[in-house]
Amino acid sequence: MALREFSIRVPATSANIGPGFDVVGLSLSLYLELDVSYPLDPPSEYAHPVLSYTGEGADEVPLDAYKNLTTRVALYLLRCHAVPRFPSHLTIRVRNAIPFGRGLGSSGAAVVAGTLLGDALASLRLPQTRLLDFALMVERHPDNVTAALVGGFVGSYLAELAPADAAAASVPLSEVLPEYPPDASAEWGLHPPPPPRGIGHFVRFNWAPAVRALAIVPRFELSTALARAVLPTHYSRADLVFNMQRLAVLTTALGQTPPDAGLIYEAMKDRVHQPYRKGLIPGLPEVTSAITPATHPGLLGICLSGAGPTILALATHNFDAIAEDARAIFKRFDVEVDWQVLDIAGGSAVSEAAA
Ligand SMILES: Nc1ncnc2c1ncn2[C@@H]1O[C@H](COP(=O)(O)OP(=O)(O)OP(=O)(O)O)[C@@H](O)[C@H]1O
Ligand SMILES: N[C@@H](CCO)C(=O)O
């Protein structure tokens, strides 16, 4: 039986990088990978997709393709293009190295993988900007999904939409991504609201090759929804100016060679999200204040990765000492951690097997 086979690879991401809350993201060399196949001439009776999964999250992720985040996003994209269902006898094998709920963009990677899966299954070849629209209809803040899709150190904003488009972009997620029951009646969920065009806009900043990312990953999950719920809705002018001043410097400073630790360390400080999240991450202020370029040569800056609980340390060397000292501080708060040194990754990729 002739098969179509392709694979999808999406990197992890670290969002915010200190002052860039919901604005900047960095793709990292840790991947969500999908191997996809289906027969080009399937048996006449329709068979639903079969999903298998190894690696991070394997014990908690739904294997029902109508409940799994990646395949639901793919079905959303397919149905927005008048393709009502997955190809028959579709098999998806997932390997995931991105831990769930740790601030390394696992949900953003799952969403981007879903947009690429839907696009590839229907051979749509949508432009990257349109794929981003679909990802943003689901994830709704651009930092992780943009960096995961395009790769590198990326800044992004959401367009100010015309009123009708703004309404379309803010329909409840449950309408965008209903949990499609496999025995759904013919019409149910067939016509989800498509995303408006041009929701997200981005630019890639330079990145100094000597700078690597140390991810210090606590062994507990923190949902992004919970970590966003503790944030205020209003900020003082002083706190906004504090962050904007640092972000303006940081986006250029991280591309300069040699990197200037004094400049970057201060530019990675934040007053918009980290102070409010410290109650959810025991040891966070102690780690970020005790580990500095003065105490740990090689360190450039240290911050919460995304919504946490992972700590991101940017450094050129001395990774073991930085990580082990962070581990010792976390231990005082009964938090166990794992750590790894990561490189800045390229964007997502789809590779088609030769026919
Ligand atoms: N590969 C995946 N397949 C299916 N669902 C996933 C996958 N990865 C993540 N998820 C879903 O996303 C949830 C985690 O998303 P959440 O936004 O809370 O954290 P995160 O994306 O890891 O962190 P952050 O957004 O701070 O970087 C998981 O509990 C799971 O429901
Ligand atoms: N900017 C987001 C990233 C996490 O998805 C936040 O900090 O909540």
The reply to whether 210 and 198 lie within a common domain is no
For residues 118-147, give the mean pLDDT. 96
The reply to whether 185 and 100 lie within a common domain is yes
Which numbered ligand comes closest to the C-alpha of 142? 2
- What interface predicted TM-score (ipTM) does this complex get? 0.98
Per-residue confidence (pLDDT) for residue 183, from 0 to 100: 55
The reply to whether 190 and 239 lie within a common domain is no
- Around ligand 2, the residues with Cβ closer than 6 Å are 15-16, 21-22, 141, 143-144, 224, 227-228, 273, 306-307
Per-residue confidence (pLDDT) for residue 90, from 0 to 100: 98
> What does the angle CA 274 – CA 280 – CA 286 come to, to the nearest 5 degrees?
60
Give yes or no for residue 14 CB within 6 A of ligand 1: no
The reply to whether 116 and 18 lie within a common domain is yes
Structure tokens at 38: 């289906």
The reply to whether 198 and 211 lie within a common domain is no
The reply to whether 217 and 197 lie within a common domain is no
In terms of Cα–Cα distance, which of 325, 273, 334, 338 is closest to 297? 325
The reply to whether 191 and 43 lie within a common domain is yes
The reply to whether 132 and 11 lie within a common domain is yes
The reply to whether 152 and 245 lie within a common domain is no
Rounded CA gap, 7 and 94, in Å? 10
Rounded CA gap, 49 and 190, in Å? 17
Q: Domain holding 313: CATH number?
A: 3.30.70.890
pLDDT tens readout for residues 247-288: 999 999 999 999 999 999 999 999 999 999 999 999 999 999
CA of 142 to the centre of ligand 1 (A): 15
Structure tokens at 87: 């190809």
Q: Where are the beta strands (DSSP E) in the chain?
A: 3-16, 20-39, 50-55, 91-96, 153-158, 200-205, 212-218, 299-304, 311-315, 337-342, 349-352
Domain count, the chain: 2
Q: Domain holding 107: CATH number?
A: 3.30.230.10
For residues 278-303, give the mean pLDDT. 97
Residue 209 has pLDDT above 70, yes or no: yes
What secondary structure does DSSP assign to 28-93, as a single string?
A: EEEEEEEEEEEESS--SS----EEEEEETTTTTS--STTTSHHHHHHHHHHHHTT--SPPTT-EEE
Q: Which atom of ligand 1 is nearest to the CA of 307?
A: 26
Q: Cα torsion for 206, 211, 212, 218, to the nearest 10°?
A: -100
Give yes or no for residue 337 CB within 6 A of ligand 1: no
Average pLDDT, the chain: 95
Domain of 92, in residue numbers: 3-202+344-352
